[in-house]
Structure 1
Amino acid sequence: MTQQLMTLSDRISYLTPVGPTDRPILMSVSGDRHTLMIDGGNSKAHAELFLEKLKDEGKPLPDLTAVTHWHWDHSFGLAALSIPSIASEDTKKAMKELINFSWDDAALDERVASGVEIQFCADAIREEFKEHRDIKVVLPSITFKDELTVDLGGVTCVLKQVGSDHAKDSTVVYVKEEKLLFLGDVTAPLMYAPVWHFTAEETLKLLDQLDQFDADTYVISHYKPISKAEYQQEAALLRKAAALVTEHRGDLDQMKTGLSTFYNRPLIEDEIDILIYFANGVPEKA
């Protein structure tokens, strides 16, 4: 799949994601003095492609990078970058645990069998690193606790650690003047578990934090930028699913009936999947 560099505004560009190799969106935010790259990419090739596309379009190259969370697809590309990288203290701590891992097929299979790795990520790593498994984990050079504001010159980026079921170290990036909130993977379920799941408590806590940002555009790493109305629709679904799983104590059939009644129509596949993730998050299942 060919990746495209898309322009959101005079200051913001992003590289489209790829499914099979689990490449997330990479974004650049350019101020008058500095350009921030959001996320490091899932490989050197991914990060280098982004820089190449920016250069081809005559756009400023980043001199800073921010990492939204520790997962490989957002951090392995740091090895290709010779610029300062920023992440939460928790992200750096989690990345440290990856440094001594081997990444050959046998090592991946062993970690999947022991529950340290998941099959989904092992398969994507094999797909991304087909020829050379030259993986080097490079740790962030600047860390923060809770929140950090980066002044790029005329553009302010607020890095806020919000946590989430998906990753406890999850950070969102709010580009204040552009009213853009880079969500990363915060609205995705916890994947490093026997079954993928959401919990009502973490979801509601996360959504309350995201409501504090005055945004018109929301960027979902493995999807695309969406409007405020689209985000609100998604957030309303998550809130309703959290209420239903609590009310029906994880009974999936009752949750489906409740959501179908709420919408007054049959459910679509994405809505059913979200209910399943919430049902999976009930303590005896998760």
Structure 2
Amino acid sequence: MSKQFASQGDLEEKEVAFEKLSDNAYAYTAEGDPNTGVIIGDEAVMVVDTQATPVMAQDVIRRIREVTDKPVKYILLSHYHAVRVFGASAYGAQEIIASRDTYDLIVERGEQDKASEIGRFPRLFRAVESIPPGLTWPTMTFKGEMTVDLGNLEVKLMQVGRGHTKGDTIAWLPEQRIMMAGDLVEYQSTPYAGDAYFRDWPQTLDRLADFNAEKMVPGRGPALKSAAQVRQALAGTRAFLTDLYGCVNSGVAAGKDLKTIYRETYDFMKPRYADWVIFDHCMPFDVSRAYDEATGHEHPRIWTAERDIEMWKQLEG
């Protein structure tokens, strides 16, 4: 393989920020690593996405304890990916909440995704031994929408549409117009779309835009502290997806093979997006999924550690 596989070359420590968005909302970010959102009510705390391991989660917990002594009662899994869910055991939460679609994806492909992502992200999973055996299972699921009361603070959990996965969930503070978007929205970071629905995702982003959020914790990238930044993140994510899928779809229509389409799409996207975090990591996975969708495979195929390597050798070898 001419390029280092996925993020195996990304071993440098990242600078963490823990930023206050309101008296009730904080963003834990680290230079393009997966973000965690923290929502604090009068009685309890909700953590949105948990970090990759319990060891990594300890730093989030330390920062939470700097601003509140309220118990972490709820964890929200914005989706099922391993880098988002396997820190959950560190928080001692009463409930782990996810959409029913996310639960179904854990049943279908959770073990394979765990092995796949551990291979892709050696730095994030260097404390992999701290993860308890098995998978992170939701204790509470919902379809469409549910409301959680943290004590004089209602948090709306909502499925707005398919995008990054079919189970994507946002957390929304309507009175404060603050959104925790998960990987539906990225800022200065490449959208990972290996499990995506390319034809649905732009419309889902349009629905998110209708919320008119004034602040946002995206899936990756710095916290967004103004409505203008939120709009920029939504537009940037949308542009990346439509540019990539349009290029792949044109190649499929012209009868080109996957490797040819990959090289042409990479060359088209690189001048526009190469400075975004994890660009080289994401592109082979994103183009592979876009090719599948453009050739009639509605639902994403399961990634395994073995399939990851085979695909990388095919496209980057």
Assess same fold via TM > 0.5.
yes
Structure 2 match to 1:105: none
Partner residue of 1:93 out of 104, 125, 142: 104
Kept in 2: contact 1:172–1:181 (CA 8 A): yes
Is 1:181 matched with 2:192? no
Kept in 1: contact 2:83–2:124 (CA 8 A): no
How far does residue 167 in structure 1 lie from its aligned partner after superposition?
1.4
How far does residue 72 in structure 1 lie from its aligned partner after superposition?
0.8
Kept in 2: contact 1:245–1:279 (CA 8 A): no
How far does residue 148 in structure 1 lie from its aligned partner after superposition?
0.9
Q: Distance in 2 between matches of 1:18 and 1:231?
A: 15
Indicate the percent of aligned positions where both proteins have the same amino acid: 20
1:281 match: secondary structure: helix
Structure 2 match to 1:40: 50
Q: In the TM superposition, what are the counterparts of 1:126-205 in structure 2 within 5 Å? A: 127-130=124-127, 132=129, 134-136=131-133, 137-187=135-185, 188-192=191-195, 199=198, 201-205=199-203
Structure 1 match to 2:312: none
Q: In the TM superposition, what are the counterparts of 1:67-106 in structure 2 within 5 Å? A: 67-83=77-93, 84-97=95-108, 101=111
1:225 match: secondary structure: coil
2:26 match: secondary structure: strand
How far does residue 248 in structure 1 lie from its aligned partner after superposition?
4.5
Q: Distance in 1 between matches of 2:77 and 2:164?
A: 15
Amino acid at match of 2:61: L
Structure 1 match to 2:119: 122
Structure 1 match to 2:307: none
Q: 1:140 to 1:217 in 2, by over 3 A?
A: same
How far does residue 215 in structure 1 lie from its aligned partner after superposition?
0.7
Runs of 4 or more above 6 Å deviation: 251-259, 271-276
Q: In the TM superposition, what are the counterparts of 1:11-50 in structure 2 within 5 Å? A: 11-17=24-30, 23-50=33-60
Kept in 2: contact 1:88–1:161 (CA 8 A): yes
Q: Distance in 1 between matches of 2:115 and 2:163?
A: 17
Kept in 2: contact 1:34–1:153 (CA 8 A): yes
Is 1:269 matched with 2:274? yes
Kept in 2: contact 1:69–1:91 (CA 8 A): yes
Amino acid at match of 1:219: V
How far does residue 169 in structure 1 lie from its aligned partner after superposition?
1.0
Kept in 2: contact 1:6–1:13 (CA 8 A): yes
Q: 1:246 to 1:41 in 2, by over 3 A?
A: closer
Give TM-score, length-normalised by structure 1: 0.72
Q: Distance in 1 between matches of 2:16 and 2:221?
A: 13
Task: Decide which moves more: 162-171 or 44-53.
Answer: 162-171
How far does residue 240 in structure 1 lie from its aligned partner after superposition?
5.5
Q: 1:130 to 1:153 in 2, by over 3 A?
A: closer
How far does residue 143 in structure 1 lie from its aligned partner after superposition?
0.9
Higher relative contact order (CA 8 A, sep 6+): 2
RMSD across aligned C-alpha pairs, in angstroms? 3.9
Task: Decide which moves more: 68-77 or 33-42.
Answer: 33-42
Kept in 2: contact 1:174–1:213 (CA 8 A): no
Kept in 2: contact 1:40–1:65 (CA 8 A): yes
Q: Distance in 2 between matches of 1:77 and 1:143?
A: 19
Amino acid at match of 1:161: Q
How far does residue 230 in structure 1 lie from its aligned partner after superposition?
1.8
Amino acid at match of 2:96: S
Question: Residues 9-66 of structure 1, C-alpha deviation per residue, up to 9 Å, x if partnerless?
Answer: 21112222366xxx52122111233321112221111222211222134464422111
Unmatched 5+ stretches in structure 1: 102-110, 260-265
Give TM-score, length-normalised by structure 2: 0.66
How far does residue 268 in structure 1 lie from its aligned partner after superposition?
5.2
2:166 match: secondary structure: coil
Amino acid at match of 1:269: A
Q: Distance in 2 between matches of 1:268 and 1:24?
A: 19
Structure 1 match to 2:66: 56
Unmatched 5+ stretches in structure 2: 1-12, 186-190, 255-260, 298-317
Q: Distance in 2 between matches of 1:27 and 1:128?
A: 20
2:216 match: secondary structure: strand
Q: 1:258 to 1:80 in 2, by over 3 A?
A: closer
Kept in 2: contact 1:162–1:169 (CA 8 A): no
Structure 2 match to 1:106: none
2:175 match: secondary structure: helix
